[in-house]
Amino acid sequence: MLYLFAEWLGFEGALNLVRYQTFRAGATLMTALLIGLLIGPRFINMLRVRQGKGQPIREDGPQTHLAKRGTPTMGGLMILVAVVISMLLWMDLENPFVWACLAVTVGFGLIGFLDDYDKISKSSHHGVSGKVRLLLEFIVAGVASWIVVSQINTFLYVPFFNDLGLELGWFYYIFAAVVIVGAGNAVNLTDGLDGLAIMPVIIAAGTFALIVYLVGRVDYSQYLGIPHVAGAGELAVFCAAIMGAGLAFLWFNAPPAAVFMGDTGSLALGGALGAIAVAAHHEIVLAIVGGLFVVEALSVIIQVFWFKRTGKRIFRMAPIHHHFEQLGWSESKVVIRFWIIAIVLALMGLATLKLR
C-alpha cells in the first residue's frame, strides 16, 4: 500500500527506496515484529478472560503437559493481525502472488479458528471433523492454486538439475493444492511443545525469502540454473512478515508459554509456506527445508497405520516430539534440538540452489 501511495503522490525519493524489495522486506519484518509485541500482552489477557480454562489438554498425552492447563490458545490471531497489516502496508498489492498467499493464510487461519473455537466451547481436544476441515482446506488451496498456476507453468522442477522439469499438465493444480494442505497440516502436527513449531517456521520463511528473491530475478535464476518466476520476488516481503510476526509470537510463546498459537496459527503459517513454495516452483525444496514438519507428519501417519494393522505402536507416542519426551528428554531439550535440525535442513535446502 505504501508502495502504491508513494507512486501516486509522485515522491521520487521515497518511491526509489520503497521500490527495493530488500528494503520493504526489512521494513515489513520490523513492522510485523513491533505490531506483535505491542498487541501481545492485551491480546493474551483478552484470550485468557474469554477462554477461561484455556486450551484443553489431552489426558493421554505426556503427564508433564497437565501443568499447562489454563494457558490460552488462538494466539495465531496475533500472528495473523501482524502479518496482514504489515503486508498491506509494504507489499505491492497489484501482484497476484500476494493475494494467493494472503487467501491461504487468512483462509487456513479461519479454518483453524473454527477448530480452536469448537475445542474450547466443548472443553475437548476434538474439534471440527477431520473430513470437514480437509474439505475446507482443499477449497481454499484450490482457489489459491488456480491463482498461482495461472501465472506460472505446470512443470514440477527437480532440484540438483539445471532446468529439469516434469510437465504435469492439469494434475499440477491438484499437486499444488496437496502441497499447500500438506504443509498446513504438517506444521499443525508439529505444534505440540512451547516454541517448537514457530521457530522452524521462522527459519523456513527466512530460507524461502532468499529463494523467492533469487527466483524473481532473471540474472540470478539464470546463473543458478533455477526456474525464473516473474513477480515471485515480492513474496520475500511476505516471508519477512511471517518472520517478524513469528518472532513477536515467540516472545510470548517461549517456555513456559503465555499463549499457544493453536490451529489458528499453525494451519495458517504452514499453508502460507506451501503457497510460497508453489509460487516459487520449489515444492520439493520445501520438503527439505521443512523436513522437520515432514517427519512429524510421517510419524503420525506411520503410527496410525501400523497400530490399525497390528495393534502395536512403533513410537511410544506420536507425533515424534512426544516420543522423545517419553524417552526422558525434557521439553526444552526436544525443542532446542529440533530447532538445530531445522537450521541444518534449511542449509541443505539452500545448497540445492548451487549444487546442480
Q: pLDDT tens digits, residue range 10-49?
A: 555 555 677 788 999 999 999 999 999 999 999 999 998 8
H/E segment holding residue 1 = none
pLDDT value of residue 355 = 80
**CA dist., res. 157 & res. 273, Å (int):** 17
Among 3-17, 114-128, 332-346, the range scoring the smallest mean pLDDT is 3-17
Q: Which residues share a beta bridge with 218?
A: none
- Mean pLDDT across the stretch 311-333? 92
* pLDDT digit string, tens, across residues 129-165: 889 999 999 999 999 999 999 899 999 999 888 777 8
**CA dist., res. 187 & res. 265, Å (int):** 9
**Cα torsion angle, 229, 231, 232, 233, sign:** positive
pLDDT value of residue 67 = 57
Mean per-residue pLDDT of the chain: 90
How is residue 321 written as a grid cell? 516430539
Query: Which residues lie below 8 Å from residue 113, measured CB to CB, with a gap of 6+?
Result: 74, 76, 77, 262, 263, 264
Query: Which residues lie below 8 Å from residue 269, measured CB to CB, with a gap of 6+?
Result: 76, 79, 105, 187, 197, 198, 201, 242, 246, 261
Count, in order, helices (H) and strands (E) of the chain: 15, 2
Q: Are 332 and 200 in contact (CB under 8 A)?
A: no
Q: Is 163 annotated as a binding residue?
A: no
pLDDT value of residue 299 = 96
How is residue 206 written as a grid cell? 527466512
Q: Is 153 annotated as a binding residue?
A: no
How is residue 327 written as a grid cell? 524417552
DSSP for 121-161 reads: HHTSS--S-HHHHHHHHHHHHHHHHHHHHTTS-SEEEPTTS
pLDDT value of residue 33 = 98
* pLDDT digit string, tens, across residues 174-212: 999 999 999 999 999 999 899 999 999 999 999 999 999
Higher pLDDT, 93 or 297: 297
Q: Are 338 and 291 in contact (CB under 8 A)?
A: no
Is the per-residue pLDDT at 305 higher than 90?
yes
Percent of the chain with pLDDT strictly greater than 70: 90
Q: Which residues share a beta bridge with 157?
A: 165
Helix axes 21-51, 198-215, angle to 10 degrees: 150
Residues constituting the chain: 356
Is the per-residue pLDDT at 91 higher than 60?
yes
- Mean pLDDT across the stretch 315-336? 93
Query: Which residues lie below 8 Å from residue 24, measured CB to CB, with a gap of 6+?
Result: 3, 18, 90, 91, 237
Q: Are 202 and 295 in contact (CB under 8 A)?
A: no
Q: Are 141 and 180 in contact (CB under 8 A)?
A: yes
* pLDDT digit string, tens, across residues 241-298: 999 999 999 999 988 889 999 999 999 999 999 999 999 999 999 999 999 999 999 9
**CA dist., res. 248 & res. 264, Å (int):** 16
pLDDT value of residue 58 = 60
pLDDT value of residue 108 = 98
pLDDT value of residue 93 = 87
Classify 165 as helix, strand or coil: strand
How is residue 282 written as a grid cell? 520449489
Name the residue among 329, 325, 336 with its Cα closest to residue 299.
Answer: 325
* Residue with cell string 501482524: 82
Segments in 19-95 forming alpha helices (H): 21-51, 76-90
